[in-house]
Amino acid sequence: MAITHSLGFPRIGAKRELKQALEAYWTGKIGLSNLTETGRQLRERHWALQRRAGIDLVPVGDFAYYDQMLNMTVLLGAVPGRFGFGDASSSLDCYFQLARGNQDQPAMEMTKWFDTNYHYIVPEFRRDTTFRLAAEWLFEEVEEAKALRFNPKPVLIGPLTYLFLGKAEDEGFDRLELLPRLLPVYAEILGRLEKQGVDWVQMDEPALVLDLPADWLAGFQETYRRLAATGPNVLLATYFDSAADRADLMKALPVAGLHLDAVSAPEQVPAFLDGYPSDKVLSLGVIDGRNVWRTDLRRALALAEAARAELSERLWLAPSCSLLHVPVDLEPETELESEIKSWLAFAVQKLQELAILDKGLRLGAEAIRNELETQDRMLQNRATSPRIHNPAVKARLEQLTEADFRRYSPFSERISLQRERLRLPAFPTTTIGSFPQTPDIRKARADYRKGELDEVRYREAMCKAIREAVHKQEALGLDLLVHGEAERSDMVEYFAEQLEGFVVTRQGWVQSYGSRCVKPPIIVGDVSRPKPMTQEWIAYAQRQTRKPVKGMLTGPVTMLQWSFVRDDQPRAVTAFQIALAIRDEVGDLEQAGVAAIQIDEPAIREGLPLKRRDWDDYLGWAVKAFRLASSGVGDDTQIHTHMCYSEFGDILPAITDMDADVITVETSRSGMDLLAAIREFRYPNDIGPGVYDIHSPRVPDKEEMLRLLQKACEAIPPERLWVNPDCGLKTRGWPEVEQALANMVEAAKMLRQRQASAVEARRRS
């Protein structure tokens, strides 16, 4: 009988109970015991849900009040010394300060967990970092689960992945050097778990699917030999991509079992089955832990049966990865059309599928005949449903030619026509799109959604917000204005709600970081645009001013990246479909006389595959999708794009290929590190490296921004340099925004003056 288990369950709660409790605690509305009671209830409820679904081994330690990597940092006593916590470091209050910063110390850095939209807290390592078993939470949760009669399987981030995902704070120091100091603490943890009667421990080592340097790979033998000596059975888990390159290494490790992601990389399974050691179990992740589609049970069953032929009782079944990345429960989605709902599975439903598979494997396909037949009908229906398949969209994609991906003239010709049309000064100032989402704006949107505000009054409220934003920008002296995005709660959801082929959920929340959740739309079918989406607002904004107003759209790759995507066609095809819809919108804006249109692609870099060898393929279609969205306009229409959240140095060639006339990028946090790459690469089009960090309430003065701009002038020819913040301003308040933008406009003026005098001086000499 195959053992079924799950690698982790969403911790936030079906109604985001953890979010509410955390935020109430942070603002002093509830006490610590109230918060920890919520945590306890969530764990209990989630274990019960999993057992009810038929799961044999429930994960323990996947719960976190903020993040699982931060949990490890506290458990391993690796809290950065800069916080000065000493022995108190494992208290929840210290924990939150690490995640969120305090008066004296900025928060620990946060970055994306592999290629997901979950963010983890990055460990900080120094040459003298030491480790010790410093917290009890793991052991307490194991006791908690045992007391409730669950069969606990503690989940830990493995030592190599933990080190690899951290950052070295000292120069010339390799964090792998810390391994010998780290292992005794892991051994101690395993020893304690064994004393608690734990049979199995899951060690997540997803770093094994990355391009790992040889010395890191070599560390695995040493590590697991050391850990094999103590404690319970270790199940070493990889996910998100293929570990086939590491099959020999992994099979030779002295662990009791391996877990593979057979959804994202089913092709790796044979490499492991071939000569699989007889002393190990193999856990196959056959249910997609990262997407919301119902499993093709026949395919999964076939895969499992093939594996069982080799492994018999040593085959385990699981979702591909932790279910952290999908919403909790589909049941409450009463507003979804039932046809669409029948295609979907969230965390709870996925575990039910796992139980069905297990039954099929134990008793034969006949035993799950009903389920298989239901799903055959569902698959059949999905394959032909007019909700999904739009022949016009498919035909349009087929008729695309090279010319559809190219602007008429090269940048050098376009830009002079655009300058003539826009008549902006040197070093033009602009912003990234959104302005503060004031309580009034949020309330109007929420009331409208609830039906408490009618269409007319909702529009009035939005127009008022737009008018005010435009007037403020005029008063500040900005050059290229925006309408401020008051009508958008989210830059992806706003478009998803209007595009055919997308659906949005009511409760489909997924943790992004800490208490922050996102509700990714679901791309269910061929994408098209039934009618214009933004024109009315932009045109309204333009009527309020004689200065040019920039149109504002979200790009195809970002739409794709921040949604749940179809699993029945390549991502590239979906991206092209979205691109065509956006291209139509761009065309309408141009028709309406909008002279500059921004197509945001903040997510382009995070879409990069985990392995370098897959990068070119992705970048090839991602760039093409952007070009398809943006190339339908005349030479004198200026296309902008915006990117943030990451380092762009290594994808500059692709960014250049996008051929936007102007790109605004996040740079201020890194002190403009990107500039060196831009100079070296000679980025050819206009560019605005952000001069202030909008993520912080701090208002930089004009001299500071001028210094950054002068630094930028060394990398970018002055006639191609734009002046703008790092990102959109929707999370900030108006007073700081007005101050910061006033300083920014001043800095641009000072720069213009200096440049004019430099030109004058050159002319004289």
**C-beta nearest to ligand GLN: residue:** 728
Amino acid at 209: V
Number of Cβ within 10 Å of residue 474's Cβ equals 14
Q: Using the rule CB under 5 A, is 602 a contact of Zn ion?
A: yes
Nearer to Zn ion (CB atom), residue 253 or residue 694: 694
Select the residue interacting with ligand GLN from 724, 730, 741, 743 (CB under 6 A): 730
Q: How far is CA 274 from CA 126, 203, 251, 278, 739, in A?
A: 41, 23, 10, 11, 65
Q: Name the 3-class secondary structure at 553.
A: strand
Q: Using the rule CB under 5 A, is 476 a contact of Zn ion?
A: no
Give the Cα separation of 635 and 526 in Å (integer). 30
Select the residue interacting with ligand GLN from 555, 692, 728, 732 (CB under 6 A): 728
Among 56-64, 269-277, 343-351, 601-609, the segment contacting Zn ion (CB under 5 A): 601-609
- Sketch the per residue contact string, 276 through 315, with Zn ion: x for CB under 5 A, - otherwise: ----------------------------------------
- Sketch the per residue contact string, 468 through 507, with ligand GLN: x for CB under 6 A, - otherwise: -----------------x-----x----------------
What token pair was written down for 650? 């290594």
Minimum distance of ligand GLN from residue 497's CB (angstroms): 17
Among 54-62, 427-435, 519-527, 632-640, the segment contacting ligand GLN (CB under 6 A): 427-435
Beta strands in 474-632 (DSSP E): 500-503, 510-513, 516-518, 522-528, 550-554, 596-600
Q: Using the rule CB under 5 A, is 665 a contact of Zn ion?
A: no
Give the Cα separation of 386 and 160 in Å (integer). 48
Give the Cα separation of 633 and 583 in Å (integer). 9
Size of the site for ligand GLN (CB under 6 A): 13
Number of Cβ within 10 Å of residue 762's Cβ equals 8
622 binds, among ligand GLN, Zn ion, none (CB under 5 to 8 A by kind): none
Q: Using the rule CB under 5 A, is 727 a contact of Zn ion?
A: yes
- Does 5 qualify as catalytic in the annotation? no
Select the residue interacting with ligand GLN from 43, 314, 624, 642 (CB under 6 A): 642
Q: Name the 3-class secondary structure at 297.
A: helix
Nearer to ligand GLN (CB atom), residue 407 or residue 488: 488
Minimum distance of ligand GLN from residue 244's CB (angstroms): 35
Select the residue interacting with ligand GLN from 538, 663, 699, 727 (CB under 6 A): 727
Q: Name the 3-class secondary structure at 316.
A: strand
Q: Which residues contact 381 (CB under 8 A, 6 or more apart)?
A: 339, 342, 343
What token pair was written down for 284? 């196959």
Nearer to Zn ion (CB atom), residue 221 or residue 731: 731
Q: Using the rule CB under 6 A, is 328 a contact of ligand GLN?
A: no
Say if CB 262 and CB 315 are below 8 A apart.
no
Select the residue interacting with ligand GLN from 73, 418, 434, 637 (CB under 6 A): 434
Choosing from 5, 46, 483, 695, the catalytic residue is 695
Q: Name the 3-class secondary structure at 346.
A: coil
Q: For 544-591, where are the alpha helices, taking DSSP H only?
A: 556-561, 571-591
What token pair was written down for 584? 């139509």
Minimum distance of ligand GLN from residue 538's CB (angstroms): 13
Select the residue interacting with ligand GLN from 328, 344, 432, 578 (CB under 6 A): 432
Q: Using the rule CB under 5 A, is 351 a contact of Zn ion?
A: no
Give the Cα separation of 78 and 130 in Å (integer). 7
Select the residue interacting with ligand GLN from 315, 597, 604, 644 (CB under 6 A): 644
Say if CB 742 and CB 476 are below 8 A apart.
yes
Classify strands 3-4 and 110-112 as parallel, antiparallel or unpaired: unpaired
Say if CB 434 and CB 488 are below 8 A apart.
yes
**Active-site residue set:** 695
**Binding residues for ligand GLN, per CB under 6 A?**
432-434, 485, 491, 552, 600, 602, 642, 644, 727-728, 730
**Binding residues for Zn ion, per CB under 5 A?**
602, 644, 727
